Amino acid sequence: YGKNTIKFLRLHKEGKKHCVKEVEVCTHLRLTSAQEYLDGNNSLVIPTDTIKNIVLVLAKKNGIPTLEQFAIDICKHFMTTFCQVAYVKTYVQEVPWQRLHENGTPHIHSFICVPDGIRFCEAEQCRNGPLVVFAGIKDLKLMKTTQSGFEGFYKNEHTTLPERHDRILCGELFCKWSYGECKDFDFDCIWNKARECILEAFSGPPDCGEYSPSYQKTVNCIQMLVLSKVSQVQVIEVVLNNTFYNVVDMKNLGLTNDKEVLVPVETPYGSCACTLARKKFLEA
Amino acid sequence: YGKNTIKFLRLHKEGKKHCVKEVEVCTHLRLTSAQEYLDGNNSLVIPTDTIKNIVLVLAKKNGIPTLEQFAIDICKHFMTTFCQVAYVKTYVQEVPWQRLHENGTPHIHSFICVPDGIRFCEAEQCRNGPLVVFAGIKDLKLMKTTQSGFEGFYKNEHTTLPERHDRILCGELFCKWSYGECKDFDFDCIWNKARECILEAFSGPPDCGEYSPSYQKTVNCIQMLVLSKVSQVQVIEVVLNNTFYNVVDMKNLGLTNDKEVLVPVETPYGSCACTLARKKFLEA
Amino acid sequence: YGKNTIKFLRLHKEGKKHCVKEVEVCTHLRLTSAQEYLDGNNSLVIPTDTIKNIVLVLAKKNGIPTLEQFAIDICKHFMTTFCQVAYVKTYVQEVPWQRLHENGTPHIHSFICVPDGIRFCEAEQCRNGPLVVFAGIKDLKLMKTTQSGFEGFYKNEHTTLPERHDRILCGELFCKWSYGECKDFDFDCIWNKARECILEAFSGPPDCGEYSPSYQKTVNCIQMLVLSKVSQVQVIEVVLNNTFYNVVDMKNLGLTNDKEVLVPVETPYGSCACTLARKKFLEA
Amino acid sequence: YGKNTIKFLRLHKEGKKHCVKEVEVCTHLRLTSAQEYLDGNNSLVIPTDTIKNIVLVLAKKNGIPTLEQFAIDICKHFMTTFCQVAYVKTYVQEVPWQRLHENGTPHIHSFICVPDGIRFCEAEQCRNGPLVVFAGIKDLKLMKTTQSGFEGFYKNEHTTLPERHDRILCGELFCKWSYGECKDFDFDCIWNKARECILEAFSGPPDCGEYSPSYQKTVNCIQMLVLSKVSQVQVIEVVLNNTFYNVVDMKNLGLTNDKEVLVPVETPYGSCACTLARKKFLEA
């Protein structure tokens, strides 16, 4: 198979207001034949340059109403236009431009980049198969300064980690979920709801939080809340890259450090991942 | 000279609310003698490990009331404690953790990383010289989708760039300014005011913006507004790394592209920089 | 599942000569139960810290005779020691330290880092399944300045790419291959042979080279040569990330540019990938 | 001032052999007037696009005989062509393509990227001032596994570092040196000689090495050897970014670790730097 990536800006106006979407689009294609690999016969190969042109033309003609709709448009175009395409996957990710505000007033044409989690989506289709749509968020860095511990784990002669009931929980989240059949979905609204669930499940109630006994359990809480609150989500995968922080031992320096000064531990670093699906989906 | 970098987290509580500052501190030292270089005599060398300990101990004892105050504390410590130090510079930069909110309610202990411009500061001092404080913002990405052009530039036989009166202005800003004598400064308040000036000067009025005839002029506007609105700022340096966008030529594809689809130009990329000081400062 | 990464140095002596291996080891584990995710019950969880200790202890006890043997040792340790482990995968990659030479004489204890392709391997095992070993090279950047073209590809109304019979072929290679049952393999020798095949197939004969009609065909040539010359390789995957170079049009500058000055095209960039297996392997 | 960066490939043939230089060129300009900043008057501004064209045209016309000669050509062009230029600096760095060899035979047109230290140079000139040329190497990673210690350093109540007489010395070197008046220099030959001196001074004799009492002393040894062996070098600056390695304490795991297994310490990390000039140069 082959894939290629193109980055571009799509501008449009709503009344006097200027709007901007900057996206990176990666298109994967697998052809029905592998003759270009085996025989050096390029007659079915769609050049990278052509794929780029198609993506830009679709952006020009349709705009980018939502990332998901744009990915769907691209998939459909390749499937219907090229009979030599056996499989197509389109990944779209957004540069997080946000409109600037001055004293609460939105600016007509100025934007600031705010990368507090990157929105992405994927649409994929095999010839004669259904078009499947995924959405997600990545590079979302979160921290809880308390209400996190790790106790009762498996121990043997190689164990040196002490049990902790009040540590820092910090990590970079990757979440990706799939939708069922997409009829008239408001993809922006759904995505925002999913993001809110992620933050809520990570944090717990604002006034007291909720104790996390492990990174793994926090991953599961996020999945459960998204599945329960966002009915369109069928399967959800979460990967949490952990950043560990050690309380600095200051005894040699004549001081008691009561979880006031901590240093990040670069290595080992870990991650935990889980994929969870609705029962009805698994049964289907 | 030598320098070293340490990254750590400082936690404290305000009532029930947990607060967090994660900083990266880089300390430069120059000693009065170079005997460790010339003779391999280490007797005056302050090891990296000791510098780290000092930074962590100061963080533990004083907390980090503001980045600037913390940098000042470190500088002063080195100057007063070690007579072999001829020069010290401390750079402090902040990991942009922001408190999470749920439906408007601030969370007691959960944070999200929002890197929309990184705050930093520097304090430096030569033995027998004044302590000078700088503050700044870096990695601030801004875009104007209109009200920007570039015309009337110098032309010769190597010129191929057309004049443009409606282009994209996009770039990554670095701003660094110095303060005069710091007596009872509210560093957080001053920094926020400076940041607001930068955004305002870049954008112009929210309802119509203001035409920028060049990246250079925009750099100057930012400097002028900060100097006029923030009296504590004495000298201000601005560097703007430009990202150019080209309107995609779609004639060959049978389409007219009226600044709707643009691609970023990776190379050549450029930057412009300027340092501006108050007249009274220059005269002094 | 969970994974974690640890980086370390293993030193030993051969006579008076000092030897060094610096590796990054990433261990993935999947447990037989998911109770830590679902119930917050950590009793079967093997902490990241314990995994780190095990990897370091194995390095101390066994050394790192080859990357592959070390990965096999780690896999076997986890499978035999922890009955709650359902699956283990160990990835090992080497920091490319090479012994320094002075006028042809090897230095007893000094090394230089030469990252002309990074060697890695993987060992994986499911409980009750066979232990499978992979080896590979990544980040290998190669260029042919001629003997490369791209012609006869599929064309339609979105095609703007001209046919070319003398372009630059440049890219970053990733190759990964699997071994069959590993009995008394000399992994270092096999890996070096595979690397030589890759370079030879990419380049062709030194005096004239060999024409490449596409990136895809070059990928295939690499696979075919490795399979034919290295009998231990059963399946080989190659991914080639392309860097395109455009001949700069200098007509406006009054010059003819006969493929003398070219600029890299950052976007779109592409890659092609293919996995090829021996017939006997597929039939097995 | 403004600067801009362009990356490109320059190909030529020597007989049947194809030769390649890929370089990144960064040109800084300061104009005699700042009217584009102050008044938005662009009439003296040389656009980034024009600078790019000039660099490419010079590469086309003159080739890149050596990095240094190319940088000199660019500087001279700007100074002689544009009377509004008050200062020009050109930085050139090379992508380290090396010709592939098959069984000792050099390949006619195939290359591999071998980044074991990046060669760069700089030429700079003020109007009415001399043209000054610098050359250097960066990203050169070196390691000594023994013959390095750190003892007898300054101690006080914040010292926790133990003295060590057999540690790892590992770091990333940056060296930059200036030439005097360049008449008929063989820049390639001089650069290679300087690189050899750096490696030799870092390592010591191949059969036994030479003890380094500190990173600082190693920096000085490098400078002294280059100055003594390469007469064209007038001033030399060396920065050594240290990577520290800690011997893993395995007592809790029931093992003695005799400097066999070490882990890199990510933070704090340090660097030391020194600039050294010939006496005759300082006296001049």
D246 annotated among ligand-binding-site residues: no
Instruction: Identify the residue among D97, D113, D193 best suited for mutation to test binding to C, counting C beta carbons within 10 A and taking the highest.
Output: D113
Whole-number pLDDT of residue B63: 97
Whole-number pLDDT of residue B284: 42
Question: What are the pLDDT digits (tens) for A127-183?
Answer: 999 999 999 999 999 999 999 999 999 999 999 999 999 999 999 999 999 998 888
Residues above pLDDT 70, as percent of chain B: 98
Q: Do A1 and C273 touch (CB under 8 A)?
A: yes
CA distance A236 to A233: 7
Which chains are within 8 Å of C by 3+ CB pairs? A, B, D
Closest-CA distance, B226 to chain C, in angstroms, reads 37
Residue of D nearest to B268 (CA): D6
The CATH architecture that domain A2-129 belongs to is: Roll (3.10)
Whole-number pLDDT of residue A282: 53
Question: What are the pLDDT digits (tens) for D99-119?
Answer: 999 999 999 999 999 999 999
User: Which chain C residues touch D53 with a CB distance below 8 Å?
Assistant: 253
The answer to whether residue C281 scores a pLDDT higher than 80 is no
Closest-CA distance, A156 to chain C, in angstroms, reads 9
D93 annotated among ligand-binding-site residues: no
Whole-number pLDDT of residue A182: 82
User: Which chain C residues touch D61 with a CB distance below 8 Å?
Assistant: 255
Long-range contacts of D128-134, Cβ-Cβ distance < 8 Å, separation of 24 or more: D130/D181, D131/D72, D131/D75, D131/D76, D132/D178, D132/D179, D133/D68, D133/D71, D133/D72, D133/D178, D133/D179, D133/D182, D134/D176, D134/D177, D134/D178, D134/D179
Query: How big is the A-D interface in CB pairs under 8 Å?
Result: 17
Q: What is the mean pLDDT of residues A180-209?
A: 95
**Of A185, A280, A186, A189, nearest in space to A227 by CA:** A280
Q: What is the mean pLDDT of residues A207-215?
A: 96
Whole-number pLDDT of residue A284: 42
Question: What are the pLDDT digits (tens) for B65-94?
Answer: 999 999 999 999 999 999 999 999 999 999
Q: Among B118-122, C82-86, C266-270, D256-260, where is mean pLDDT lowest?
A: C266-270
Q: Do D157 and A254 touch (CB under 8 A)?
A: yes
The CATH architecture that domain A140-281 belongs to is: Roll (3.10)
Interfacial residues of D (vs A; Cβ cutoff 8 Å): 157-158, 160, 252-254, 263-264, 266-267
Closest-CA distance, D177 to chain C, in angstroms, reads 21
Nearest by CB to residue C158, choosing from B160, B253, B267, is B253
Which chains are within 8 Å of B by 3+ CB pairs? A, C, D
User: Which chain D residues touch A160 with a CB distance below 8 Å?
Assistant: 252-253
Closest-CA distance, A241 to chain D, in angstroms, reads 18
Instruction: Identify the residue among B109, B241, B249, B256 best suited for mutation to test binding to A, counting A beta carbons within 10 A and taking the highest.
Output: B109
Q: Do C264 and B267 touch (CB under 8 A)?
A: yes
Long-range contacts of A96-99, Cβ-Cβ distance < 8 Å, separation of 24 or more: A97/A20, A97/A21, A97/A22, A97/B143
Nearest by CB to residue C270, choosing from A3, A36, A271, is A3
Nearest by CB to residue C160, choosing from B252, B266, B267, is B252
Nearest by CB to residue A158, choosing from C54, C156, C267, is C54
The answer to whether residue A1 scores a pLDDT higher than 90 is no
Nearest by CB to residue B7, choosing from A110, A208, A264, is A264
Instruction: Identify the residue among D245, D249, D253, D261 best suited for mutation to test binding to A, counting A beta carbons within 10 A and taking the highest.
Output: D253
Query: How big is the A-B interface in CB pairs under 8 Å?
Result: 189
Instruction: Identify the residue among A244, A267, A269 best suited for mutation to test binding to D, counting D beta carbons within 10 A and taking the highest.
Output: A267
Q: Do B257 and A60 touch (CB under 8 A)?
A: yes
Average pLDDT, chain B: 95
Q: What is the mean pLDDT of residues A219-230?
A: 96
**Of B171, D183, D158, nearest in space to A112 by CA:** B171
Whole-number pLDDT of residue C284: 42
Closest-CA distance, D26 to chain C, in angstroms, reads 15
User: Which chain A residues touch C25 with a CB distance below 8 Å?
Assistant: none
Residue of B nearest to A60 (CA): B261
The answer to whether residue B206 scores a pLDDT higher than 50 is yes
Question: What are the pLDDT digits (tens) for A83-124?
Answer: 999 999 999 999 999 999 999 999 999 999 999 999 999 999
Question: What are the pLDDT digits (tens) for A7-63?
Answer: 999 999 999 999 999 999 999 999 999 898 999 999 999 999 999 999 999 999 999
Strands (E), chain C: 2-14, 17-31, 85-95, 97-102, 105-113, 118-126, 132-144, 169-179, 233-247, 261-277
User: Which chain A residues touch C272 with a CB distance below 8 Å?
Assistant: 1-2
Q: Check if the beta carbon of residue B109 is closer than 8 Å to that of residue A147.
A: yes
Nearest by CB to residue A153, choosing from C3, C45, C268, is C45
Q: Do B102 and A203 touch (CB under 8 A)?
A: yes
Whole-number pLDDT of residue B270: 84
Residue of C nearest to D206 (CA): C107
Residue A68 three-state SS = helix
User: Which chain B residues touch A209 with a CB distance below 8 Å?
Assistant: 107-110
Domains D2-129 and D140-281 share a fold: yes
* Domain segments of chain B as ranges: 2-129, 140-281
- Taking the CA of residue C175 as centre, how many other CA atoms within 13 Å lie in the half-sphere pointing to its CB? 33
Instruction: Identify the residue among D243, D257, D266 best suited for mutation to test binding to A, counting A beta carbons within 10 A and taking the highest.
Output: D266
Nearest by CB to residue D109, choosing from C53, C105, C145, is C145
CA distance A209 to A200: 9
Residues above pLDDT 90, as percent of chain B: 90
The answer to whether residue A281 scores a pLDDT higher than 70 is no
Question: What are the pLDDT digits (tens) for B102-131?
Answer: 999 999 999 999 999 999 999 999 999 999
Known binding positions of A for 5-hydroxyisourate: 48-49, 150, 167, 216, 242
Calculate helix-pair angle for B48-62, B67-81, nearest 10 degrees: 130
Residue type, D135: A
Secondary structure of chain B as H, E, C letters? CEEEEEEEEEEEEECCEEEEEEEEEEEEEEECCCHHHHCCCCCCCCCHHHHHHHHHHHHHHHCCCCHHHHHHHHHHHHHHHCCCEEEEEEEEEEECEEEEEECCEEEEEEEEECCCCEEEEEEEEECCCCCEEEEEEEEEEEEECCCECECCCCCCCCCCCCCECCCCEEEEEEEEEEECCCCCCCHHHHHHHHHHHHHHHHHCCCCCCCCECCHHHHHHHHHHHHHHHCCCEEEEEEEEEEEEEEECCCHHHCCCCCCCEEEEECCCEEEEEEEEECHHHHHC
Closest-CA distance, A252 to chain D, in angstroms, reads 7
Helix H segments across chain D? 35-38, 48-62, 67-81, 187-203, 215-229, 279-283
Q: Do C112 and D199 touch (CB under 8 A)?
A: yes
Whole-number pLDDT of residue C260: 97
Closest-CA distance, D269 to chain B, in angstroms, reads 5
Question: What are the pLDDT digits (tens) for B18-52?
Answer: 999 999 999 999 999 999 999 999 999 999 999 99
Whole-number pLDDT of residue C63: 97
Q: Do C159 and A271 touch (CB under 8 A)?
A: no
User: Which chain A residues touch D254 with a CB distance below 8 Å?
Assistant: 157
Whole-number pLDDT of residue D222: 97
The low-confidence residues of chain D, meaning pLDDT below 50, are: 284
Q: Do D217 and B36 touch (CB under 8 A)?
A: yes
Closest-CA distance, A173 to chain D, in angstroms, reads 23
Whole-number pLDDT of residue D284: 42
The answer to whether residue C108 scores a pLDDT higher than 90 is yes
Whole-number pLDDT of residue D187: 98
Question: What are the pLDDT digits (tens) for B217-248?
Answer: 999 999 999 999 999 999 999 999 999 999 99
